[in-house]
């Protein structure tokens, strides 16, 4: 799949693009960059000059705490704009790093500004993409603050799997989730002991398993029931032009 197609696949999940819009997106510069596990694409405090579209692997937004620890904020898979907010803010208030080996295509901000100026519909579509990203972030806050134990973990697993299926990244009933147990705990606000205990609960329930960076959904209905997962906040329905 070409770099523009990776981006178009994601945008077409929620928006219509006419042939001229598609042609304009295909003319953008997509600069390929590989990232090692833990390597930053951009850092908190930087003045961003390009946006990262995930090609393969997984990226995470995170804050660096005063003691040097990382607080992971959100996870991003193929096609996601991991740092679109940097387009209109004068500095990055968070960092973006690779979770395991990953690759991105960076698009210069200046090219995107020119694109939005001449093809405003694309600007609306990218705006919608950032709003959906914010919706997913709000749900993460709700999940981490209001759900407990196995329910919190089940909702997280269900979302990652659902998003992976939407862009064709699943393999049967499995998808990549290349986190360590420590990182999973940091993303969900759980200790390693709590993560382990609830992984065992989900495994014994027959809902899902996670091992070696691979998430396997054994029973989707059971997983979504445990987690109270409703995918409407991910906005997969295609919306018309504005």
Instruction: Say what the pLDDT of residue 238 is.
Output: 83
Burial class (CB within 10 angstroms; exposed 0-12, middle 13-18, buried 19+) of 207: buried
Dump pLDDT digits (tens) for 27-59: 999 999 999 999 999 999 999 899 999 999 999
Instruction: Say what the pLDDT of residue 85 is.
Output: 81
Q: Which of 140, 160, 186 is the last residue of a domain?
A: 140
Instruction: Say what the pLDDT of residue 190 is.
Output: 94
Query: What does the block give as tokens for 174?
Result: 């499995």
Residues with Cβ < 8 Å from 57, sequence gap 6 or more? Answer: 35, 98, 99, 100, 101, 102, 103, 176, 178
Instruction: Say what the pLDDT of residue 68 is.
Output: 82
Q: For residue 212, is it within any domain?
A: yes
Q: Which of 140, 160, 187 is the last residue of a domain?
A: 140
Q: Which of 140, 161, 183 is the last residue of a domain?
A: 140
In terms of domains, do 135 and 191 share one? Answer: no
Q: For residue 112, is it within any domain?
A: yes
Q: What is the dihedral of CA 177, 155, 62, 14, to 10 degrees?
A: 90
In terms of domains, do 70 and 178 share one? Answer: no
Q: For residue 240, is it within any domain?
A: no
CATH assignment at residue 9:
2.60.120.10
Which segments of the chain have a pLDDT < 50? none
- The parent domain of residue 175 ranges over 148-234
Dump pLDDT digits (tens) for 113-145: 999 999 999 999 999 999 999 999 999 999 999
């Amino acid at each position: 799949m070409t770099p523009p197609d990776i981006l178009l696949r994601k945008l077409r999940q929620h928006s219509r693009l006419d042939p001229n819009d598609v042609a304009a997106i295909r003319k953008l510069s997509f600069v390929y960059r590989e990232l090692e596990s833990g390597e930053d694409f951009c850092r908190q405090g930087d003045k961003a000059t390009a946006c990262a579209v995930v090609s393969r692997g997984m990226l995470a937004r995170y804050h660096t705490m005063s003691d040097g620890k990382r607080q992971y904020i959100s996870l991003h898979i193929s096609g996601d704009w991991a740092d679109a907010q940097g387009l209109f803010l004068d500095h990055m208030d968070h960092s973006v790093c690779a979770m395991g080996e990953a690759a991105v295509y960076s698009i210069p901000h200046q090219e995107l500004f020119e694109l939005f100026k001449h093809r405003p519909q694309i600007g609306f579509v990218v705006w919608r993409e950032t709003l959906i990203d914010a919706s997913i972030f709000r749900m993460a806050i709700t999940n981490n603050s209001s759900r407990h134990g196995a329910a919190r973990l089940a909702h997280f697993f269900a979302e990652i799997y659902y998003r992976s299926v939407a862009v064709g990244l699943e393999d049967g009933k499995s998808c990549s989730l290349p986190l360590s147990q420590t990182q999973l705990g940091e993303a969900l606000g759980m200790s390693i002991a709590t993560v382990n205990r609830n992984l065992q609960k989900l495994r014994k329930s027959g809902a899902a398993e996670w091992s070696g960076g691979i998430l396997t959904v054994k029973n989707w209905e059971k997983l979504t029931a445990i987690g109270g997962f409703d995918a409407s906040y991910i906005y997969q329905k295609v919306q018309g032009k504005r």
